[in-house]
Every structure is written in structure tokens, then in C-alpha cells.
A and B are shown apart, each in its own frame.
Chain A
Amino acid sequence: MKKLLIALMTTTAALSMAASAQAADKLKACWVYVGPIGDFGYSYQHDQGRLEVEKALGDKVETAYLENVSEGPDAERAFERLARENCKIIFGTSFGFMDAEVKVAKKFPKVMFEHATGFKTGDNLGVYNARFYEGRYVLGQIAAKESKSGVAGYIVSFPIPEVVMGINSFMLGAQSINPNFKAKIVWVNSWFDPGKEADAAKALFDQGADIIVQHTDSTAALQVAEERKLHGFGQSSDMIKFAPKAQLTSLTDEWGPYYISRVQAAIDGTWKPDNVWLGIKDGAVKMAPYTNMPDDVKAMAEATEKKIAGGWNPLTGPIAKQDGPAWLKDGEVADDGTLLGMNFYVKGVDDKLPQ
């Protein structure tokens, strides 16, 4: 229903625009989201980026978006419609939009396409991604310092490389402080089910974890931590309002600066398909203020963040795989290809990776 409403709204908007003035020299930038913009997580943050574009570029730009677009055939229709409605640059924000976007990009060679977190590019299709694992290393260090039981609870969605990479980086960070640190891992098989996330958090706390990490999108787990007077980390957005005493920091996505630079390039006519993977140093991965921890832990977290911003990769050898054999030799740095296809745990992760 809502999609239909938006569809109607965008169509009428397109019609009235065509009628009113072709002269109004505005570039139309469009976004496709996989979830609702009201998820206060992943899609919400992308939409905040869109709003920043509107704010920064003012009347040089006009924006539109489609939310709740499911991955698959629906996505293809969504991209095609936006391309027909005079969108000059289109951002697809979910991994599963990849093939749809590749197809539509071929059909509309004059439209500029950008796809988040994918790996297929084209003459008019670029990809962009964020190195969330950098932030997760910092979370691991904080968790190891702050946990009394030496056990963290880790709530995860699906066993895709992005998530596995996060678990590995978190564990490496934690082990750099406490080599015996353990994480209990619970897969909830959903990106978004507040009730289930809360239940998982309760189960993990009941089994002795005293810090919650999540790779799911709602604030539910942090609220449980707040109730139990324990700690946790936010995800995608700064969730401090939901857990003023429990949130240590939050791993937030800041897409605004990237979107502004790309839309500006499109306006200037200098846009070229790109393949970028942004991290802490680009400001795309941002740590929310460090709270509810002693000053020395805060100082340590800030130092690590700075080190990563300075170009150090937390996934630097020696690192062994879970079952023993070496993955990276001393001083060797993980290459992006391996990371994007990561399907194994590093040593010390106490879980069997679902295949």
C-alpha cells in the first residue's frame, strides 16, 4: 500500500515536473532502499545521507527514493522506473540489488548507477562499501577491557562475508587485550526482528555474557542490556537515547559525505564509475561518543581509532584460521578480495560457521 502511494506520488511529481519547466536545471538523484526508512538502522542511515545531499546541494538537486524494495525482480522494476523518471544518478543500497542494477544500467547507459556493498561494475555502474570491520576491532578491544566475565554475547543475522568479517575483527581486537576472551554467538536469521533480538540478548546474558554486540538492526538488545544494568554496543545509528547507561559506543554508518561528493561530481559532469571501500579515515565508519567507560579504556579506544584512521589495517598478520593453519603471515595484510568472500573464522571464535 505504502509503496503504491509512493509510486503514485513519484509519478505525479514526475509528470508535474515535466510539465512545469524543463529549464529548471536540477539534477535528480535517486535512492533504492531494501528496508523501511523508519528502521532506525541501515536504511535509515542511507536516507540520512540523502537528506544531507539535499541540504548541502540545495536547489541544484532534487531527490527521490523507493523504500522496502525487495531483492529480486521487484528491484529491477524499481531501478527501471527511477531511470525512466529522469533520475540521473541512482544509488542502490543493498547487496541483493546487484544483478538487477547491472541489468538496468546496461539499458540506460546515460544514467549513472552506484551500488553499495557489491562487486560488479560497468561503464556507468560504480560500487561503494564501508569497512565496518575496522570499527568492530575497536569494539572488541573495549569489550575485552570492560567485560568482567570475559565473555561477550554476539547477535548476528546471516552468515555472509560482511558479518563473518565483523566477528573475526571483533575477536582479534578482543584477543589483543585478553587472549582468553570468548564470544558466544547466536544467529537470529533475520536483519530485523526486535522481539527475537531481545530474546537472544536475554539468553546470552543468562548464560554469563555481560556485554552485547550485534550485527542486526534494532535497538532491542541494547534495551535489554539497559534493563539488566549491563553493557552493549549500538549498530548503524547512535542508539544512546535507548540505553543511556548501557551503550559503550555505537558503530555508525555515515554515507552523507560520499553521497554529496558523488552527486556533486554528477552535476559537474566529472562522475566516473568507481570502486571504493571507505573506512574510518574517510568518515564513513564512525564511532559514536565513547560513554559509560573509564577514561583509560576511552583513551585506548581513541588511540586505536586514530591508528586505523592513519592507515593501519586491523587485519594484519600473524593471524591463524580457526582450525589452526595460518591465514596471514607476520606483517601480511588481508587483501580485499579475500575479505569480500570471507567464509572462515579466525582462531579463538567459539562457533561453527553455518554454511
Chain B
Amino acid sequence: MDITVNILLTIATAATPLLIAAIGELVVERSGVLNLGVEGMMIMGAVAGFGAGYLTGSPWIGLLAAIAMGALFSLLFAVMTLSLATNQVATGLSLTLLGLGLSGMMGTSFVGQPGERLPNLYIPVLTDIPVVGKLLFGQDPIFYISIALTAAVTWFLFRTRTGLTLRSIGDSHTSAHALGIKVIRYRYLAVIFGGACAGLAGGHLSLVYTPQWVENMSAGRGWIALALVVFASWRPWRVLAGAYIFGAVWIGQLHAQAFGIPVPSQMLSSLPYLATVVVLVLISRNKRLTMMNTPASLGQPFVPDR
């Protein structure tokens, strides 16, 4: 029983940063903006989170710094693509490259220093319940944030007027503009929200997952988050399902290897990617619904005609 609980906990830890970054990017893309800079914003969040935690001794301040850094860094993307109408793909890619380099430079003095770890939740009695106690009441705080965030974003996008407005901008920015909606302002807020989420995901890496700072420590997780959004056809709960399937197969293949299952390790290593894509494509195989969910003006620059 213990091993099952441990495996489930490990899966949750592996899935959480993917889920948070993907939920943020989902909101951005729903507003019609494609930000390929997730990896860059994530790593900036990781270095800021580690640095602030290390310097102040408080992982909570580290967490706030990670969020703030992600938001601030995404602002750069927002100014370029929204105010100056640069190409979103190119700008996003350069944001990732800039983030990877800049974080390495900022983090030079943190290399080889042990950092602060966010403590796991502990509620007397509740956490001590066998099996479910640890799963429901004993995880790290960011895990709970990630679930709450998924619920909140679903509610916001599909149950509120502002959410509807945001989606309509993503579908047709010219029509939204003609109706007097402030397209650029909405998109700014969406991009900054996405940045904050990516920063938080980075903070999870350097404050919970592996409390340390090393260059490139995000190791491609931003790209996986990006792919999750598309394969989940821009639906929050599917993103959650995708992140957890990925996490489960990811951890499962490590266990399979340790168990000595005679399958080539390269094959096992590629399984999480394969499994996630296959499952999400199966869920989203209704073509019409998928078309409906795809933000129609995704990635197109918008220049308002006065």
C-alpha cells in the first residue's frame, strides 16, 4: 500500500509543473496569442524563485518572486507582439532563448548552493489518516494551487462574461474590436497571467521538485506544457488529464525499468510522449468540436484600425 501512495505522490509532483504552465498558456491561446516562450518564462521563474528563497531564507517569498518574474518576463513578449505587432512565433522563440541564457547568468552565484524547500501541507489528524491522508492533505502547496487553478480557469472561461469576451477575442479579434472590446488590453492581461503561471511552474521546480538551481533545469518541460495545450484541444480538464497521464507513464516507465522489465530503455523513455498524444487525440477525435475549441485567430497579429 505504501508503495502505491508513494508512486501516486511522485506522479503528482511530476505532473504539477506541466499542469500549471499549460493552464496559463491555455488562457493565453484562448485569447488568440501564441506564446512559445513558456520554457523561457519557466526557467526565469525557477531562478528567481530559488534566488529569492535562498537570499531571504523563505521559500514563500521565493514562490512570490517566481510568479512575479514570470509575469514581468512575459510583459516583454506582450509589448513586442501586442503593442509592436511583431511575429508571435519568432518573438516567443527568442523569449525562450533569452530566458535560458539570462537565467544562467543571473544564477551563477547560486550554483552548488542548497536551497529552500516549500514544506508539505500538514494538518494534524487529517494528514495522519492512512493512505488517503497523505494524498489529500499532505502534499506540497503548489499541488493544491494547480488543482484550484484548473477549476478557476474552467469557471472563468466558460461561466463568466469576461471569459466569454476573452474567448471571442481569440476567435475573431476584428469582430471583437468592432464591438468595442479592448482587444489589446485583454490580451495583455492574458499574456501576463500565462507568464505568472509559467513562473509559478518554474518555482515548483526549484522550490519543491528539486530544490536547487542549475542551468537548463526545466529540461524541456515548457515545451511539453505547450504541446499539452494543443493536444487537449484548449480544454482545462483535458490539460489536467494530459499532465497526469504524462506524469503517470513517466513515473511508470522508471518503475518498469527498476523492476527489470526487459524492454529497451529508449523505448520506455518515449512512452510518456506517445501515450499522452494518443490518449488526448482519442479524446479530441470529434472534429467539429475540436474546430470549435480552436481559437480561430491564434497567432495572428492584431493592429487596430482606428
> What is the interface of chain A, defined by CB distance below 8 A to chain B?
1-3, 5, 35-36, 38-40, 44, 153, 184-190, 192-200, 202-204, 206-207, 209, 218-220, 223, 237, 241-242, 350-352, 354-355
Contacts and interface: CB of A to CB of B under 8 A. Distances in A.
Given A36-B104, A39-B215, A198-B209, A153 B262 contact: no
Contact of A195 (B112, B209, B258, B269): B209
A-B residue pairs, 9 tightest by C-beta:
A2-B101, A187-B265, A1-B101, A36-B215, A203-B254, A194-B210, A193-B219, A220-B210, A38-B215
Contacts of A241: 112-114
Interface residues of B, number: 43
A354 B266 contact: yes
Contacts of A351: 260
A189 B105 contact: no
Contacts of B250: 196, 199
A147 B205 CA distance: 30
B61 interface: no
B216 interface: yes
Contacts of A39: 111, 214-215
Interface of B: 3, 6-7, 10, 13-14, 97-98, 100-102, 104-105, 107-108, 111-114, 205, 209-212, 214-217, 219, 221, 250-251, 254-255, 257-260, 262, 264-266, 269
B13 to A, nearest CB: 8
Given A189-B265, A199-B14, A219 B212 contact: yes
A198 B117 CA distance: 14
Best-surrounded residue of A2, A5, A219, A352 (most CB of chain B within 10 A) = A2
Nearest to B261: A352
Contacts of A202: 6, 10, 251
B257 A189 contact: no
Contact of A350 (B101, B104, B260, B265): B260
Given A202-B251, A242-B114, 5 more contacts: A153-B258, A185-B258, A195-B14, A218-B217, A237-B112
Contacts of A44: 111-112
Contacts of A193: 219
A242 B217 CA distance: 16
B259 to A, nearest CB: 6
A184 B216 CA distance: 28
A352 B259 CA distance: 12
Given A192-B219, A237-B112, A352-B262, A38 B269 contact: no
Contacts of A354: 264-266
